[in-house]
Structure 1
């Protein structure tokens, strides 16, 4: 895949034409709506678990809800294959028109789906099927939007133009958070979760954001019907150079498959883990480790996204000047080197008493190693019964740092806090017992006054503690913009027009759907296994550093490739 004959000199920047603005608006707006649909489920996973998996105990409800959420990530690469092939065969425009219809319809139907109490096992089965349809649609949507915009962009401006598409994932998340927080504040938590009456006997304000997606779908379809096919695809169609078998050409020929692997491990995997660590894992860490309430955590993340999002355009434009590779790899490297101090600072500011407890309260789990198993459980389906395993799992869920001590064979299992033994009677009572002992030893209570708390969206701006956290989170969002802003242009430029949609979509969705999408669950599984609240960060740090090494050695710069004549 030599690019020697396809390199063009960079043109001086010029203002966007009216047609180019229309292309960016149509592609970006529809993609924002798709990401909004996709993230609604993740943000409301706990409530959805109670509605559709009520046959199980509360802890298992949450696990199944998260597994259903993960199903959407896992099928994204298959959507990339299906719709990428269609995009290379029949065109960019109509393919990603189809994807938005599938996404919008699936999301709307989640809002109409009766709960487990109403229709039994059909409810969770249909929910998972709808979630998989969402993942398939998103697998085809992103590649189509990125290719469509890139193939309309002038030479020397592809990084800037495609960066508008890169803002859509963050804006979609922000839109979903804004709608959910507004409804929660407006109608109260009980009405939002269960009691707000709708129609057909359906209840719960949580359904409204899903039902409202039908309006967004109608707007997106109207806008996309006004669009024209990309010039690069039309040129290829006129010349008769379209691929007859884009899947086999992209992945069955080593010269192309090799580039797919380099793109995946030398760019996308690092980009994916930085993206999820700076947004989703940060939200997870605030809520589940630092025990910040849901409203406060969402507001703080939302402000960091608002402040940081314009940087997508900055780094996209910067990549037009100095190249995609240095911007993306620099973002991966800086993130890997600073995540541990940044998350330490987050702990120190958000929950100061908790930070002191981590240093001053010594919790030990002492047992015969033969009676303690491995707690690694990234998909949340293992059942732990041994007292040692149950105790460690409970300590991790309560974000209590512990040390595992290997006692001589035959020694009894013991949990001690500052040397005082905490009795373990059974799995049902231990969580309450150990929580009370931890608070007595110095860990903060649930309503601790030192913990950050805001009462509304704008009240965060008058809270010095909240502002410090927003600043820390914004730094991590800036890392996201460094790695994500130029990635679409880089992937588009890697592959010729005849297989571009297919070839670029797969590494993107494997990297972001699998390596990135499973990051929160995997990182928490590492925390549960080690007892160290920061150990989960080794997952993104390790993969980001791997990407830097592979990227430096094998990734070629592509910013000056002439994709219009790259067939």
Structure 2
């Protein structure tokens, strides 16, 4: 007990002294990782037909989103491998490996030939690179979240980890900004021909910045204390999935928190973008500007959400976002259809007198409130569910399965539902169903965690 108290005091002291540097290095580094992962999705409507040739633009886009989804599906496998590395030898060393893999794959997308040159091989190579990206990201996020949380004072854990949480949206924002700036510099014709490669090639410079920021970080006092007394897990992944108590928490985290949070994040951002571009046929430049403005305005909401979760608790903030999303998504997307550039079928090219990019942006802004409520406190909540010796692996599994797999499949499933049913609003049915399931499971089985002492054990 005395040892735990000393560790707790040491952790609080470290947080007070170095927390600014810790948050900046971890969050900016993770934002860069997300940028490299998401720039692939930001350019979907531009590049789909360059790498896939299914016969129709929508079919090409669905094929591209399937390749995009592969990266999400492989995130849990990256968690298994890098979770072991991070727990066994340290969070700081695993960062460098994951950053390098992500940057290399992103750069290679920027120089690889398209289907016009090498045919179907272009799509195959793209899928392989996405697999490697998914593996790398699977080891990145959980390490950064654990790192910040283990340095944070208990009463500010939600606030401090919320800066990391906004890194995903910031990474998406950065990818949209870079794409938008490149379009403006090169012009639409040049960007479509070759300028699209620039956002991918930028990964080399971003890797240098990320390594610089992360190179001075050391592991947390909690982890170093366990390592010094030989109490780190010999096989953290195995311990996470074979210990009945840990398995229960992993499953509860997936079905009561992360899969609902994941579908809300991807629906309100990526799916909203594709809905505007592919269903409403909003011009690419206009839709990009809408998303950039919305994402910029939403960034403070993540910090507010994290801070608020320290005050009132995390559980009902998470579940509240799912309830709001399930109740309102259908109406929101139906209303977005009223403000698109065309009346009825866009193929008939009948201009809509009520077309309003402002209203489209406002409706996406409403969705970002749900995102912040769910995503702001989720890192702190997951960290508080598991003990230090297996925290890296145990929190990573539910996060990357719930957020990565269930959430990452939203754009693909959404467009498939629209294509198969002919209903432009069918795309949100998947999200609503997942949110309802997660809301019910979470309300019944999850407990509040904001007062958990992570220097001792999980609750």
**TM-score (structure 2 length as normaliser):** 0.92
CA drift of 1:126 comes to 2.6
Establish whether residue 339 from structure 1 lines up as the match of residue 332 from structure 2: no
CA drift of 1:337 comes to 1.2
Establish whether residue 64 from structure 1 lines up as the match of residue 54 from structure 2: no
CA drift of 1:472 comes to 1.7
Establish whether residue 143 from structure 1 lines up as the match of residue 142 from structure 2: yes
Establish whether residue 133 from structure 1 lines up as the match of residue 132 from structure 2: yes
- Name the structure 2 match of 1:233: 223
- Cα 1:215–1:272 change in 2 (3 A) is same
- Name the structure 2 match of 1:528: 419
Establish whether residue 171 from structure 1 lines up as the match of residue 62 from structure 2: no
Alignment partners' CA distance in 2, 1:345 and 1:267? 28
Q: Structure 2 matches for 1:371-410, cutoff 5 A?
A: none
CA drift of 1:56 comes to 6.6
- Name the structure 2 match of 1:560: 451
SS of residue matched to 1:226: coil
Q: Structure 2 matches for 1:150-549, cutoff 5 A?
A: 150-194=149-193, 204-351=194-341, 354=343, 357=344, 435=347, 439=348, 444-445=349-350, 448=351, 450=353, 452=355, 465-549=356-440
- 1:550 alignment partner, one of 408, 416, 441: 441
Alignment partners' CA distance in 1, 2:192 and 2:115? 15
CA drift of 1:103 comes to 0.6
SS of residue matched to 2:384: helix
- Name the structure 1 match of 2:35: 36
Runs (5+) with no aligned partner, structure 2: none
Q: Say what the alpha-carbon RMSD is for the aligned residues.
A: 2.4
- Cα 1:155–1:126 change in 2 (3 A) is same
- Cα 1:118–1:288 change in 2 (3 A) is closer
From the CA coordinates, give the structure whose radius of gyration is larger.
1
Q: Structure 2 matches for 1:94-109, cutoff 5 A?
A: 94-109=93-108
- Cα 1:16–1:238 change in 2 (3 A) is closer
1:93–1:230: 8 Å Cα contact kept in structure 2? no
Which is helix-richer, 1 or 2? 2
Alignment partners' CA distance in 1, 2:415 and 2:45? 17
Runs (5+) with no aligned partner, structure 1: 195-203, 358-397, 400-434, 453-464
- Cα 1:243–1:27 change in 2 (3 A) is same
Alignment partners' CA distance in 1, 2:58 and 2:271? 20
Deviations 1:196-230 (A, max 9, x none): xxxxxxxx111111111100100101111111111
Deviations 1:502-560 (A, max 9, x none): 11111111112211111122123223333322232221112112111111111111111
SS of residue matched to 1:243: coil
**TM-score (structure 1 length as normaliser):** 0.75
2:384–2:454: 8 Å Cα contact kept in structure 1? yes
SS of residue matched to 2:240: helix
- Name the structure 2 match of 1:52: 51
2:15–2:151: 8 Å Cα contact kept in structure 1? no
CA drift of 1:53 comes to 3.5
CA drift of 1:81 comes to 1.0
2:62–2:412: 8 Å Cα contact kept in structure 1? no
Deviations 1:479-517 (A, max 9, x none): 100000000000011011111111111111111221111
CA drift of 1:121 comes to 5.1
Establish whether residue 124 from structure 1 lines up as the match of residue 123 from structure 2: yes
1:54–1:117: 8 Å Cα contact kept in structure 2? no
Alignment partners' CA distance in 2, 1:527 and 1:480? 23
**Range 57-66 or range 100-109, more displaced:** 57-66
Alignment partners' CA distance in 1, 2:14 and 2:301? 19
1:101–1:217: 8 Å Cα contact kept in structure 2? yes
CA drift of 1:100 comes to 0.9
CA drift of 1:284 comes to 1.6
- Name the structure 2 match of 1:377: none
CA drift of 1:168 comes to 0.6
CA drift of 1:86 comes to 1.1
SS of residue matched to 2:431: helix
Number of aligned residues: 452
SS of residue matched to 2:155: coil
- Name the structure 2 match of 1:92: 91
